[in-house]
Amino acid sequence: MEKALLVTVEILFRKGAAPSGWKPEERAGELRELASSSGLSVILEEVVRRQEVSATSYIGKGKADELKYLCETHDIDVVVFNNDLSGSQQKNLEEGIGTKVIDRTQLILDIFARRAKSNEGKVQVELAQLMYLLPRLTGHGVEMSRMGGGIGTLGPGETKLEMDRRKINDRIARLTRELEDIKKQRLTGRKQRSHFSLLNIALIGYTNAGKSTLLNALTGSDVVAEDRLFSTLDPTIRTFLLPNNQKVILSDTVGFIHRLPHHLIESFKATLEEVREADLLVHVIDASHPKKDEHVKAVMEVLKELGADTKPMIQALNKIDRIGDEIIVDSLRREFGNAVTISALEKKGLEGLAEKIMAHLSTVMETVSIEVPHHDMKTIRLLYDHGHIIKKEYRGEAVYFEATIPAHLAAQLRKNKS
């Protein structure tokens, strides 16, 4: 395991910067979780307060010398900065401190690279890594060993593969084309799925909020749910039968984080298609987390970037088993505008969530009365699969149905008839 020193720099006078709602110690706490999620062993943590950023070495020579001393005495392999470093700042810091230096974005990219299992995930991560590297090229190429393999594979004696800007640009173009293909396949896949016209519900939320645990609790699947950041990378799609026998599609996908590297959002748009295509979002919030408000804010920002911030949404305050106190749970529920409170782990409050989902769906459902010929199995199946049958009567050659079905299917039926 590589030994890491984590450094969070707090710049005291940043021109025009809005106050962030995160104290430096809280940012440091999240960096610690990120570092352990990527398999680093955190030996030391430093919070550095500075008046301003040094353009060349970010923290100034004196501080760099101090870190060099710490790294030597504690046998540190890598120093992780919680701040965004430019290519030259990173290089100068590496020279000054005498160890490998990475920033928060690289750390997150590294975690994603480790988690990527599917071809789609791998392509998306590599694309994000290359887009991160491109503006950092100093003209003589870049050590490719920095990326792809993850932190653990970087060590003395590694092969340094040089790649120049042109090659990187070519590779970016190729990966982008590959992603286009993946997107097309995904769309045909979705169209072929017999459940294409079912309503789609996407579970979204901050990383580690409990989305996968909730999917498992609702659908009885066994998606990996772990106490580490970014457990889920590839989307999982399951059908879910609501208590009123209406079938819907439930999808679980990658979690969000505050200051999620923009390149990741850009390149993960294929995976995040499930979110963009959803009819309804269930926003899973870790209600027991001290930073829950900031988490919610960060999630809304990412949704905005995806163009999905205006979708109908149900907020599910999760992990209430950790809160225990009914009064606090009640006040939380009110604070979040009558959100549902659940414990995905203990399978509590799930009926309340299902009710909210049904209530929402009833606003996008329509009741139809229709006579269907016996032989028209397609329509009959559609009513059963996607609708909720209220009344059924045999009338000679036809069957009469009264059913609630998704509004878009009702429109389709009317069109077919005319």
Ligand X SMILES: Nc1nc2c(ncn2[C@@H]2O[C@H](COP(=O)(O)OP(=O)(O)OP(=O)(O)O)[C@@H](O)[C@H]2O)c(=O)[nH]1
Choose among 105, 140, 124, 128: nearest CA to 31: 105
Structure letter (DSSP) for residue 18: P
Instruction: Considering the complex, state which of residue 146 and residue 319 has its C-beta at the smaller distance from ligand X.
Output: 319
φ and ψ at residue 286, rounded to 5 degrees: -75, 95
Part in contact with ligand X (CB under 6 A); list of ranges 19-27, 86-94, 201-209, 236-244: 201-209
211 binds ligand X (CB under 6 A): yes
Q: How far is the CB of 395 from ligand X (least distance, A)?
A: 49
Say how many Å lie between the first and final Cα of the chain, rounded: 68
Segment near ligand X (CB under 6 A); pick from 270-278, 291-299, 341-349, 351-359: 341-349
In the complex, minimum distance from the CB of residue 25 to ligand X, in angstroms, rounded to a whole number: 22
- Tokens 């003209």, residue located: 139
SS3 3: strand
CB 316 within 8 A of CB 285: yes
Shortest reach from residue 228's CB to ligand X, in Å: 7
Which of 231, 246, 253, 343 contacts Mg ion by CB under 5 A? 231
Residue 227's binding partner, choosing from ligand X, Mg ion, none, with beta-carbon cut-off 5 to 8 A by kind?
Answer: ligand X
Minimum distance between the CB of residue 355 and Mg ion, rounded to whole angstroms? 24
Q: Which of Mg ion, ligand X, none does residue 9 bind to, with CB < 5 to 8 Å depending on kind?
A: none
Q: Per rule CB under 5 A, is residue 207 in the interface with Mg ion?
A: no
Give whichever of 344 and 410 is closer to ligand X, judged by the CB atom. Answer: 344
Q: Which of Mg ion, ligand X, none does 319 bind, CB closer than 5 to 8 A by kind?
A: ligand X
| By CB under 6 A, residue 230 contacts ligand X | yes
By the rule CB under 6 A, 343 interacts with ligand X:
yes
- Secondary structure of the chain: what % helix, strand, coil (to 5)? 45, 25, 35
Stretch that binds ligand X, among 206-214, 294-302, 373-381, 382-390 (CB under 6 A): 206-214
Element containing residue 92 per DSSP (H, E): helix 87-97
What is the C-alpha to C-alpha distance for residues 315 and 89, in angstroms, rounded to an integer? 41
**How far apart are the C-alpha atoms of 415 and 409, rounded to whole Å?**
10
Q: Which does 175 bind (CB under 5 to 8 A by kind): ligand X, Mg ion, none?
A: none
- Hey, which residues between 130 and 159 contact ligand X (CB under 6 A)? none
Report the DSSP pairing between strands 78-81 and 3-11. parallel
Cβ of residue 62: shortest distance to Mg ion, in angstroms? 43
SS3 state of residue 106 = helix
- From ligand X, Mg ion, none, which one binds at residue 210 (CB under 5 to 8 Å depending on kind)? ligand X
The answer to the question of residue 251 lying near Mg ion (CB under 5 A) is no
Q: Are 404 and 362 in contact (CB under 8 A)?
A: yes
Nearest residue (CB) to ligand X, 98 versus 150: 150
Decide: is 226 part of the binding site for ligand X (CB under 6 A).
yes
> Minimum CB separation from Mg ion for residue 341, in Å?
20
Closest CB to Mg ion among residues 212, 404: 212
Rounded least distance, CB 328 to ligand X, Å: 15
Per-residue burial over 298-310, b = 16 or more CB atoms within 10 Å of its CB, e = otherwise = bbebbbebbebee
**From the list 210, 349, 387, 406, which residue makes contact with ligand X (rule: CB under 6 A)?**
210
**Is residue 212 part of the contact set for Mg ion (CB under 5 A)?**
yes
Q: Which is nearer to ligand X, 78 or 353 (CB)?
A: 353
Burial class (CB in 10 A: 0-12, 13-18, 19+), 136: middle
Q: Are 323 and 290 in contact (CB under 8 A)?
A: no
**Nearest 10 degrees: CA dihedral of 82, 254, 267, 194?**
180
Query: Pick from 99, 129, 212, 271: which binds ligand X (CB under 6 A)?
Result: 212
- 255 lies in the binding site for ligand X (CB under 6 A): yes
Residue for token digits 């829950």? 292
**Residue placing its CB nearer to ligand X in the complex, 271 or 318:** 318
* Residue closer to ligand X, measured from CB, 75 or 227: 227
Q: Which residues contact 59 (CB under 8 A, 6 or more apart)?
A: 7, 9, 48, 50, 67, 93
Q: Are 28 and 82 in contact (CB under 8 A)?
A: yes
- Quick check: 268 binds ligand X (CB under 6 A)? no
- Is the torsion defined by CA of 187, 191, 195, 196 positive or negative? positive
Locate 56 and state its tokens.
Answer: 């060349």
Chain centroid offset of residue 161 CA: 31
Return residues touching Mg ion (CB under 5 A).
Answer: 211-212, 231-232
Return residues touching ligand X (CB under 6 A).
Answer: 205, 207-213, 225-227, 229-232, 255, 318-319, 321-322, 343-345
